[in-house]
């Protein structure tokens, strides 16, 4: 074995230099393969986009980003808590994971992941949200993209523009407001 | 590094990187709509192109991930992985420089992804290095004979 290695080490220096490894960075066949990947992704993406439940407009004209004042209203933790006291049938919607929801949550909050809306937004839940005095959507922290989008979706289904909790459950907890769950 | 060891390291890296890509694609595939907002918030693309990216990009990620794991035209998959990671990192860096606080959308369409763009870009670098390695230094398909052949 050491002998083989020694020979291998010698080999490139000898007359066999043409066998040295050259790194084919972007060959024609590699580009062809890469193109195949792109075509496959285009075909699959186009196919999946024909499914009505997840259809998006092809050129982005069908979707506008959620707009404050139109699709949702901002609300801070104390105002949301006041709303909860003043209007007992205020519904809190928790977009965090089921585990986080089980652990700690705003008392009475319902869990609703935007990504699984088709399953989780049952007709019963939708009518409950529709009949609620106010709907407050909260996520985990200061990023509220998903909450805004959920608000837009609910508003699009005919609900009054829901509230989105500024800074999410973090703000609720840090404000020392009441929580429920396994570790209240 | 001995040749079998190199092969194993290459394969392991490909499987891990492929797994990361498949994982990253999965939640965006279930429902691409939250991903639209996240792409929108990056404020890099013209509005018309945002939906197109949300429609096709997760599928490309998924295919590249599977390609890396299974080994179907693995170098092409690694080339795509490199290109995608360069794109993602550049997008993060642009927003880090601009000081925009965007949801990453890296591994999920959830709002819980870490949001320090500098750190996110830094997190991309090992993956980028791995992808570039897989692309540029594949183990040789056929082992070259170690002995000089009669033609030499």
In whole angstroms, how far apart are CA B57 and each of A69, A78, A173? 31, 40, 36
A111 and A154 co-located in one domain: yes
What lies within 8 Å, CB to CB, of A62 at 6+ separation is: A56, B51
A46 and A83 co-located in one domain: no
Residue A184 counted as domain residue: no
What lies within 8 Å, CB to CB, of B75 at 6+ separation is: A30, A33, B134, B135, B138
A45 and A107 co-located in one domain: no
A43 and A80 co-located in one domain: no
A35 and A88 co-located in one domain: no
| A112-134 confidence digits (pLDDT tens) | 877 667 778 888 999 999 999 99
Question: Is the CB of residue B32 less than 8 Å away from at least one CB of chain A?
Answer: yes
Average pLDDT value over all residues in chain A:
83
Joined together, the tokens standing for residue A166 give: 């500024």
Nearest to B40 among A40, A65, A141 (CB): A65
Among chain B residues, the shortest Cα distance to A51 is held by: B31
Domain coverage including residue A28? 2-54
| pLDDT tens-digit profile, chain B (152 residues) | 678 899 999 999 999 999 999 999 987 888 787 788 778 777 788 878 888 899 999 999 999 999 999 998 999 999 999 999 999 999 988 888 877 666 677 766 654 455 677 888 888 899 999 999 999 988 875 544 454 544 44
Nearest to B55 among A11, A45, A144 (CB): A45
Instruction: Output A54 or A9, whichever has higher pLDDT.
Output: A54
A154 and A81 co-located in one domain: yes
| pTM tops 0.80, yes or no | no
pLDDT at B41: 73
A60/B112 CB distance under 8 A: no
pLDDT at A13: 47
Residue-wise burial string across A133-146, b where 16 or more C-beta atoms lie within 10 A, e elsewhere: ebbbbbbbbebbbb
Joined together, the tokens standing for residue A181 give: 């769950």
Q: For chain B, positions 86-145, list CB contacts with chain A under 8 A.
A: 101, 103, 109-113, 115, 135-137, 140, 144
Residue A118 counted as domain residue: yes
What's the structural domain count of chain A? Answer: 2
A18 — pLDDT class (breaks 50, 70, 90): very low
B55/A23 CB distance under 8 A: no
Nearest to B148 among A16, A41, A168 (CB): A16
A139/B136 CB distance under 8 A: no
Partnered with residue A111 across adjacent β-strands are A94
Residue B120: closest CA among B139, B144, B95: B95
A36 and A79 co-located in one domain: no
Residue A6 counted as domain residue: yes
Cβ(B109)–Cβ(B31) below 8 Å = yes
3-state secondary structure chain A: CHHHHHHHHHHHHCCCHHHCCCCCCCCHHHHHHHHHHHHHHHHHHHHHCCCHHHCCCCCCCCCCCCCECCCEEEECHHHHHHHHHHCCCCEEEECCCHHHHHHCECCCCEECCHHHHHHHCCHHHHHHHHHCCCEEEECCCCCCHHHHHHHHHHHHCCCCCCEEECCHHHHHHHCCCCCECCCC
| A44-83 confidence digits (pLDDT tens) | 999 999 988 778 888 865 566 778 888 899 999 999 999 9
In whole angstroms, how far apart are CA A67 and each of A62, A116, A140, B113, B138? 15, 22, 20, 22, 49
B110/A146 CB distance under 8 A: yes
Nearest to B109 among A41, A115, A140 (CB): A115
A80 and A160 co-located in one domain: yes
CATH number at residue A159: 3.40.250.10
Q: Which residues of A touch B29 (CB under 8 A)?
A: 48
CA atoms lying within 13 Å on the CB side of residue B88: 26
A92 and A44 co-located in one domain: no
CA distance B10 to chain A (A): 15
Number of neighbours of residue A123 by Cβ within 10 angstroms:
7
pLDDT at B84: 95
Residue A61 counted as domain residue: no
pLDDT at B149: 47
A30 and A120 co-located in one domain: no
Nearest to A140 among B37, B80, B111 (CB): B111
Among chain B residues, the shortest Cα distance to A24 is held by: B136
């Amino acid at each position: 074995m050491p002998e083989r290695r020694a020979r291998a080490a010698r080999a490139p220096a000898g007359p066999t230099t043409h066998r040295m490894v050259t790194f084919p960075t972007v060959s024609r066949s590699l580009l062809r393969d890469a193109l195949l990947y792109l075509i496959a992704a285009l075909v699959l993406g186009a196919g999946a986009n024909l499914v009505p439940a997840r259809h998006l407009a092809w050129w982005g004209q069908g979707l506008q980003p959620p707009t404050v004042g139109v699709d949702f209203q901002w609300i801070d933790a104390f105002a949301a808590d006041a709303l909860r006291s003043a209007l007992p049938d205020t519904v809190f919607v928790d977009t965090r994971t089921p585990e986080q929801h089980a652990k700690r949550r705003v008392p009475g909050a319902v869990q609703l992941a935007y990504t699984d809306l088709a399953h989780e937004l049952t007709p019963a839940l939708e009518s409950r949200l529709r009949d609620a005095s106010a709907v407050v959507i909260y996520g985990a922290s200061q990023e509220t993209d998903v909450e805004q989008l959920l608000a837009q979706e609910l508003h699009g289904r005919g609900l009054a523009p829901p509230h989105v909790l500024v800074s999410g459950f973090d703000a609720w907890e840090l404000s020392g407001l009441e929580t429920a769950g396994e570790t209240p | 590094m001995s040749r079998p060891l190199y092969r194993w390291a290459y394969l392991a890296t490909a499987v891990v990187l492929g797994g990361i890509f498949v994982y990253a694609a999965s939640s965006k595939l279930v429902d691409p709509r939250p991903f639209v907002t996240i792409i929108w918030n990056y404020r890099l693309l013209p509005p018309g192109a945002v939906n197109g990216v949300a429609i096709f990009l997760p599928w490309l990620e998924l295919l590249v991930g599977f390609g890396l794991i299974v080994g179907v035209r693995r170098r092409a998959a690694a080339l795509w992985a490199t290109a995608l990671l360069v794109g993602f990192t550049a997008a993060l860096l642009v927003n880090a420089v601009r000081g925009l606080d965007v949801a990453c959308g890296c591994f999920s369409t959830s709002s819980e992804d870490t949001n320090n763009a500098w750190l996110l870009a830094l997190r991309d670098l090992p993956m980028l290095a791995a992808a570039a390695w897989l692309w540029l230094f594949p183990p040789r398909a056929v082992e070259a004979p170690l002995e000089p052949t009669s033609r030499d």
